């Protein structure tokens, strides 16, 4: 799938969501107004009551959305009973799950998501949550990792990565926040009725049944609010179904195109249909997050599919496997599914092209091969939060002895300093193409630090980079990855906002980056000018090439930070012009590839290692 196109479509669905939410609130207000009129015969009281309840709905949506903005996907995973898996886990099924997530993330060119295992859920299900690929989490039921083969689990994970890359996650979180307000009346009614049950039935002074009267008022008021609230729940279900249902077909098809193995995801869906397995979730928070899951969370009266958040299971399977006869397999729980990694050689069944793809089987194979090249000891230490810091620091150590000693002295902990020094020689011998994947693996382990520990870690990183009084492209890329991944994860940076939708607003910044690229990858002025002119024409940029001494690294960084806040559609054409610039002479030199990786990291664009 095309990352930029899907991100733009996700933004357009926000407009649809706002429209549906407004319509639902209007209808709910009309129902409330009519109900109050029917009981009180007072227009004034009906207007005041309706206004109060609508304000409650609005502020409840605002509160939930704000809460999710602060906690992101991590909040959702923890509310569903998820347990964060350590990259260094020695549990075989946890290791297999994490390895698959890591492979797919590397192939897609996105940070490795935090992986949560829902130990108490023995059905087959999974979800992806977060506001951007840089701070996504993946949650998986224990039944999913225990009942599925590696190919089937890989199909499920590829399905979830489709949601990560195409912007569905942000929309899904917005749905939870906005729909919470519509459903709040039912929750208030439920708690009012529970409170009525525990109220005293008489007054302690007079002995009269005034307490019973108050309890009855709470009971009847709660019942009325629950009835009105279920009107909101009905509309919430319609909105969730409207927004999310067709996205499941897209994610299924993307998973097949990516893994080139229809039997993987089809096998997982067939096992969901097996008696006593299913995809149900027992967590109390499952209802509000039902649209985020791989399979149906619960069965309900769906009015002919009107309220269903997912397409019918049989239809999903037949779309992938037209030979499916409707008979689901028998699965005995638990089963031994921890087998050696293998690549499927079966061709994908024909599926109509979606919109192009940024995930291919070749990328997945290359990612698997890349991870295997990392020495086992480094790989193991990269998965432990404490030793992972040492691996990260070792990547940043300078080749000059004096500078390196200055860097080592800046590491405050003796153990981490010794481990950093021990890893230095092994890390330095790694080929350049392995260092970014290694950093990505380390960053995944660093999610297990506390916020205070992470602040201390980044302070050391800044000191190590500044030790030689300069910042090279590799160091810049790492800083950009930290900014767009862990800084957001730990609440130290905000999610990227869209501030610019027109080229005219950012043409100066686009010209600065294009000029920097043109000078970096071409040897003489005619080639520099030609590369810039070709890219500028493609972008529709009229700004001339800037002089070589007029673009400092600081200006380059500032320009990228502004371009990071462009709309997906505009970011697409700008990034394409950057690629056009580096390819203008028919080749991409290492420095150009490194620059593009730095740009992609700063703009939060998935960038496969094979660029």
Active site (catalytic) residues: 160
Determine the Cα–Cα distance for residues 69 and 21; give it in Å rounded to an integer.
Answer: 19
416 contacts 393 by C-beta, under 8 angstroms = yes
> Which 3 state secondary structure label does DSSP give 46?
helix
* Location of structure tokens 């933004």: 11
Q: Is 14 exposed, middle or buried (0-12, 13-18, 19+ CB in 10 A)?
A: middle
Q: Is the dihedral of CA 604, 76, 306, 252 positive or negative?
A: positive
- For 35, residues 6+ apart whose C-beta sits below 8 A from its C-beta are 224, 228
Determine the Cα–Cα distance for residues 5 and 571; give it in Å rounded to an integer.
Answer: 10
Determine the Cα–Cα distance for residues 58 and 99; give it in Å rounded to an integer.
Answer: 42
Rg, the chain, Cα only: 27
- Token representation of residue 601: 């990291």
Helix spans in 491-589 (H): 507-521, 525-539, 553-563, 568-582
- For 298, residues 6+ apart whose C-beta sits below 8 A from its C-beta are 280, 281, 286, 287, 290
Say how far residue 527 (Cα) sits from the centre of its chain: 40
DSSP state of 207: -
- What is the CB neighbour count within 10 angstroms for residue 52? 11
> Which 3 state secondary structure label does DSSP give 66?
helix
Say how far residue 352 (Cα) sits from the centre of its chain: 26
Determine the Cα–Cα distance for residues 175 and 237; give it in Å rounded to an integer.
Answer: 10
Burial 553-581, CB ≥16 within 10 A → b, else e: eebbeebbebbbbbbbbbbbebbebbbbb
- Token representation of residue 504: 């005219």
* Location of structure tokens 């704000």: 66
């Amino acid at each position: 799938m095309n990352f930029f196109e899907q991100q733009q479509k996700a933004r357009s669905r926000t407009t649809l969501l706002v429209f549906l939410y407004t319509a639902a609130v209007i209808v709910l207000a009309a129902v409330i107004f009519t109900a109050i009129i029917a009981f009180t015969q007072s227009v004034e009281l009906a207007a005041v009551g309706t206004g109060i309840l609508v304000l409650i709905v609005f502020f409840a949506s605002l509160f939930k959305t704000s809460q999710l903005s602060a906690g992101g996907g991590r909040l959702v995973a923890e509310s569903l009973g998820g347990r964060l898996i350590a990259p260094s886990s020695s549990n075989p099924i946890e290791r297999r799950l994490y390895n698959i997530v890591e492979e797919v993330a590397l192939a897609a060119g996105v940070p490795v998501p935090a992986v949560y295992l829902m130990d108490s859920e023995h059905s087959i299900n999974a979800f992806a949550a977060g506001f951007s690929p840089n701070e996504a989490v993946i949650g998986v039921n224990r039944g999913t990792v225990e009942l599925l083969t590696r190919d089937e689990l890989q199909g499920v994970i590829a399905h979830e990565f489709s949601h990560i890359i195409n912007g569905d996650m942000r929309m899904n979180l917005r749905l939870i926040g906005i729909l919470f307000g519509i459903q709040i009346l039912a929750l208030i009614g439920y708690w009012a009725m529970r409170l009525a049950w525990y109220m005293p039935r008489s007054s302690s002074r007079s002995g009269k049944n005034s307490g019973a009267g108050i309890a009855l008022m709470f009971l009847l008021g709660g019942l009325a609010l629950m009835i009105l609230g279920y009107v909101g729940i009905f509309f919430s279900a319609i909105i969730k179904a409207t927004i999310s249902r067709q996205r499941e077909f897209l994610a299924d098809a993307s998973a097949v195109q990516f893994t080139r193995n229809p039997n993987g995801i089809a096998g997982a869906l067939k096992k969901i249909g097996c008696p006593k397995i299913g995809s149900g979730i027992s967590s109390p928070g499952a209802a509000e997050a039902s649209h985020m899951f791989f399979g149906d969370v619960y069965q309900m009266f769906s009015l002919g599919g009107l309220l269903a958040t997912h397409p019918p299971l049989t239809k999903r399977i037949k779309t992938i496997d037209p030979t499916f006869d409707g008979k689901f397999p028998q699965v005995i729980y638990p089963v031994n599914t921890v087998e050696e990694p293998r690549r499927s050689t079966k061709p994908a069944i024909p599926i109509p092209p979606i919109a192009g793809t940024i995930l291919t089987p070749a990328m997945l194979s290359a990612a698997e091969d890349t991870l295997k090249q990392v020495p086992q000891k480094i790989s193991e230490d990269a998965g432990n939060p404490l030793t992972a810091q040492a691996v990260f620091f070792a990547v940043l150590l300078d080749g000059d002895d004096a500078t390196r000693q200055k860097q080592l002295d800046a590491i405050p902990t003796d153990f981490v300093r010794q481990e950093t020094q021990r890893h230095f020689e092994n890390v330095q011998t790694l080929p350049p193409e392995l260092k970014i994947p290694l950093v990505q693996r380390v960053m995944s382990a660093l999610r297990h630090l506390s916020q205070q520990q992470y602040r201390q870690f980044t302070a050391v990183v800044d000191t190590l980079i500044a030790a030689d009084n300069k910042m090279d492209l590799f160091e810049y890329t790492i800083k950009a990855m930290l900014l767009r991944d862990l800084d957001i994860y730990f609440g130290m940076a905000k999610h990227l906002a869209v501030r610019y939708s027109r080229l005219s607003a950012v043409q100066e910044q686009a010209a600065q980056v294009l000029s920097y690229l043109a000078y970096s990858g071409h040897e003489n002025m005619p080639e520099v000018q030609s590369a810039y002119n070709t890219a500028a024409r493609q972008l529709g940029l009229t700004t001339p090439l800037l002089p070589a001494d007029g673009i400092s690294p600081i200006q380059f960084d500032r320009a990228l930070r502004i371009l990071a806040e462009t709309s997906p559609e505009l970011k697409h054409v700008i990034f394409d012009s950057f690629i056009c610039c580096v390819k203008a002479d028919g080749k991409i030199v290492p420095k150009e590839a490194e620059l593009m990786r730095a740009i992609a990291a700063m703009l939060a664009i998935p960038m496969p290692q094979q660029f």
